[in-house]
Structures are given as structure tokens and as C-alpha cells.
């Protein structure tokens, strides 16, 4: 098989000053991409700033013969995020790839222990940053009819007993990915927007304790995630709007399915009906994977012309 390369392409990787982002940036650069290495350089809670993180990774790439420039802007602020994209445009005149990797963890505890500031900080970094960067680059990619966006969510979306803001932010990233991917697909644009749930050691895994971090570093290094990210960033990306779990040398599809459910048309549904037929609604046999929201709505019987509403998601 021919080597998959990125010669002549420009990539922005956020949160690339270490860990997973560093691995993504270095692999893309090693395969020929010019990379804007973005990182505010704050700690894992989002506090502080140090341009040295991004600068060090950009220097590593250049020492290895690649092309990279550091960018210290924050993804959490709309104007700063727009400056990240403008920085790449000023340098190289185009953006082909965006990897939205930046994020923070501000709190570990039960719901009643989460402050308003914790919630805002997590949302503004992971979800807000993803939104700001995608919005800033969207028209450029749309008009060129080419772009690859890889967003980074988390398996915490399945639920964590010790955190609330972080899974909430990552769930929002999945929603944004699906929405933009459907819009591009409906208009037949050569844009591919996918999302990964990486399983890897990182600065954020320090919250799990030294023993867990040590084991994850051995079995789940950042470099094991990078190849799938690079594939999703490539012109031969084989999917759109998908969620992939990646780690430890493997990857798998994560999907949202809808059960056949229970439908009652002869009379209005009552509370008692809902209780009586709850097992049927929960039965996963015969599930479907809706491609968009209206396709799921069309699974309910009725005479609504759902196709007429496609303009709202296209």
C-alpha cells in the first residue's frame, strides 16, 4: 500500500504542546504536513499560560526536518481562536486539516461539588474551543470544497461518577461533530468531520493516580492514537460523522442507535401504557443507526413529510 502523506497540506493541531496533541502534530509533520502547533500552555485546569509548550514541540518537528510554527492563543476565546486560523492563513494561505484536541479538567467530584466556574471553564475549553475553531475555518474549507476536521471527545461521555463538566463538554463535541458532518454530506461537500475518544496516558490522567498513569503509559501511549487521527485527517478518510474509540494499537466504532421501540396509535399513550410497555422500548434487538435527527423522528409512525425538513439540517 502506498504511504499516506500530507505533502502541500496545512494542519492546525490545538492542545499540541504535549501528550496526545504533540503525537498528532509530530506524525502529521513527519508525513509532510506544515503544522501550526497551538497550545496556551496552561495547567490541566486551564490556569496560567506558557508559550514554551507549543514552542518546544514546534522546535522538535523542525529538528526532525519538518515544518512547524508555534501558536500560543487560547481556543476558549472566540477572537483568539479566530487568530489561530488567521495565523495559519497568513503563514501558508490555506488550512486543510483541523484537529481540535485542546481541553481541560477543572473538577473531580460529585455534582454538588462542581462550581459554576468549573462548569464554564470545561465547556469553554473543550466544547467552546471546538466550536470556535470549526466556525473560524468553516467558510474557508467550504469555499475550497476540501477539509478534514478531527474532533476529540472522550469515553467519559458514557458516564463518570467522579466528574460532570468534562463529560458534558465532550458530549457537546460529539453533537457538534454530527451536526456539521450531516450538513456537509447533505450538500455533497468534500468535507469530513469525525470525532475520536482516545484512551491514552496524558497530563489529565494524573487525576487517576500514579499506578494507573504508569500502566496507561506502558499500554496506552499517545503515539498509538495518532495513526487513526492521521487517517481521519487524510484525503482518503473513509468516513464522515463517525465516532471512533482509539487506544493501545486498536480502534473501534462507537455509535448511537435507536431501538424499534413501542408505538401506540389507536388511542393516546398514558402513563400506565408507558410503564407496561417500557421493556419493549428498551429492547435493543433490531436497533437502527439513524444518520441524522429527522431519520430518527421518521421511525415513529405518522404522516409527517420529514424529507421536507431536510433543508434545516443541510
**Are 58 and 126 members of one domain?**
yes
Helices (H) and strands (E) in the chain, counts: 11, 8
Q: Is residue 1 part of a domain?
A: no
Q: Do 249 and 276 belong together in one domain?
A: no
- In a domain, residue 209? The reply is yes
Decide: residue 158, CB within 10 A, 0-12 exposed, 13-18 middle, 19+ buried. exposed
Same domain, 72 and 191: yes
Q: Are residues 243 and 300 in the same domain?
A: no
Q: What is the pTM of this model?
A: 0.90
Strands (DSSP E) contained in 56-96 are 67-71
How far apart, in whole angstroms, are the C-alpha atoms of residue 120 and residue 136?
Answer: 21
Instruction: Name the nearest CA neighbour of 129 among 151, 96, 106.
Output: 151
Same domain? For 68 and 216 the reply is yes
* Same-domain check for residues 284 and 162: no
Give me the pLDDT at residue 217, please: 63
Please indicate, yes or no, if residue 305 is contained in any of the structural domains. yes
The answer on 96 and 42 residing in a single domain is yes
For residue 226, what are the CA distances in angstroms to 15, 30, 65, 85, 303? 14, 12, 19, 22, 47
Per residue in 213-222, pLDDT tens?
Answer: 666 666 788 9
Distance (Å, whole) CA 219 – CA 277: 44
Q: What is the pLDDT of residue 104?
A: 73
pLDDT, residue 211, reads: 62
CATH number of the domain bearing residue 163? 3.40.50.720
Do 65 and 190 reside in the same domain of the chain? yes
Same domain, 203 and 292: no
User: How high is the pLDDT of residue 163?
Assistant: 73
Which residue segment(s) compose the domain that 227 sits in? 10-254
- Whether residue 114 contacts residue 165, with contact meaning beta carbons closer than 8 Å, is answered with yes
Spatial separation of the C-alpha atoms in residues 89 and 71, rounded to whole Å: 13
Residues 52 and 171 in one domain: yes
Residue 308 lies in a domain: yes
41 to 74, 77, 83, 137: CA distances (angstroms): 9, 15, 16, 22
Cα dihedral 141, 145, 150, 153 in deg (nearest 10): 80
Q: Which residues of the chain have pLDDT under 70?
A: 42-49, 107, 161-162, 201-218, 303-304, 306-314
Same domain (yes/no): 227, 280:
no
- The verdict on whether 166 is a catalytic residue reads yes
Same domain, 161 and 299: no
On whether the CB atoms of residues 226 and 178 are closer than 8 A, the answer is: no
Closest of 251, 149, 163, 157 to residue 200, by C-alpha: 251
Domain count, the chain: 2
The length of the chain in residues reads 314
Q: Is 265 contained in some domain?
A: no
Beta carbons of 311 and 294 less than 8 angstroms apart = no
- Residue among 166, 262, 287, 300 flagged as catalytic: 166
The whole-number pLDDT of residue 291 equals 85
C-alpha to C-alpha distance for 122 and 103, rounded to whole angstroms: 7
Whether 214 is in a domain gets the answer yes
Contact 284, 266 (CB under 8 A): no
* pLDDT score recorded for residue 103: 81
Summarize pLDDT for 109-136 with one digit per residue, the tens.
788 888 888 888 888 888 999 999 999 9
Question: What would the DSSP string read from start to end of 13-57?
Answer: ETT-SSHHHHHHHHHHHHTT-EEEEE-----TTS----THHHHHH
Whether residue 194 is contained in a domain is answered as: yes
Inside any domain, residue 5: no
Please give the pLDDT value at position 105: 73
Amino acid at each position: 500500500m502506498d504511504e499516506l502523506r500530507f505533502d502541500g497540506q496545512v494542519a492546525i493541531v490545538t492542545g499540541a504542546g504535549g501528550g496526545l496533541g504533540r503525537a498528532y502534530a509530530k506524525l502529521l509533520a513527519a508525513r509532510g504536513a506544515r503544522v501550526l502547533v497551538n497550545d496556551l500552555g496552561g495547567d490541566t485546569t486551564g490556569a496560567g499560560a506558557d508559550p514554551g509548550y507549543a514552542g518546544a514541540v514546534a522546535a522538535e518537528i523542525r529538528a526532525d526536518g519538518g515544518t512547524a510554527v508555534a501558536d500560543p492563543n487560547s481556543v476558549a476565546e472566540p477572537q483568539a481562536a479566530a487568530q489561530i486560523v488567521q495565523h495559519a492563513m497568513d503563514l501558508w494561505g490555506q488550512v486543510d486539516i483541523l484537529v481540535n484536541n485542546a481541553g481541560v479538567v477543572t473538577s473531580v467530584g460529585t455534582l454538588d461539588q462542581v462550581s459554576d466556574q468549573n462548569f464554564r471553564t470545561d465547556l469553554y475549553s473543550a466544547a467552546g474551543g471546538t466550536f470556535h475553531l470549526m466556525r473560524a475555518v468553516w467558510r474557508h474549507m467550504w469555499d475550497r470544497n476540501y477539509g478534514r476536521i478531527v474532533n476529540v471527545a472522550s469515553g467519559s461521555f458514557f458516564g463518570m461518577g467522579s466528574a460532570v463538566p468534562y463529560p458534558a463538554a465532550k458530549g457537546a463535541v460529539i453533537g457538534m461533530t454530527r451536526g456539521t458532518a450531516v450538513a456537509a454530506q447533505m450538500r455533497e461537500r468534500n468535507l469530513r468531520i469525525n470525532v475520536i475518544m482516545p484512551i491514552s496516558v496524558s497530563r489529565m490522567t494524573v487525576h487517576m493516580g500514579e499506578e494507573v498513569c504508569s500502566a496507561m503509559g506502558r499500554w496506552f501511549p499517545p503515539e498509538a492514537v495518532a495513526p487513526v487521527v492521521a487517517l481521519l485527517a487524510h484525503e482518503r478518510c473513509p468516513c464522515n460523522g463517525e465516532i471512533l474509540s482509539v487506544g493501545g494499537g486498536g480502534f473501534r466504532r462507537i455509535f448511537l442507535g435507536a431501538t424499534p421501540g413501542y408505538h401506540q396509535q389507536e388511542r393516546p399513550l398514558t402513563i400506565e401504557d408507558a410503564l407496561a410497555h417500557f421493556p419493549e422500548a428498551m429492547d435493543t434487538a433490531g436497533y437502527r443507526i439513524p444518520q441524522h435527527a429527522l431519520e430518527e423522528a421518521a421511525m415513529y409512525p405518522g404522516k409527517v413529510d420529514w424529507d421536507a425538513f431536510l433543508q434545516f439540517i443541510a
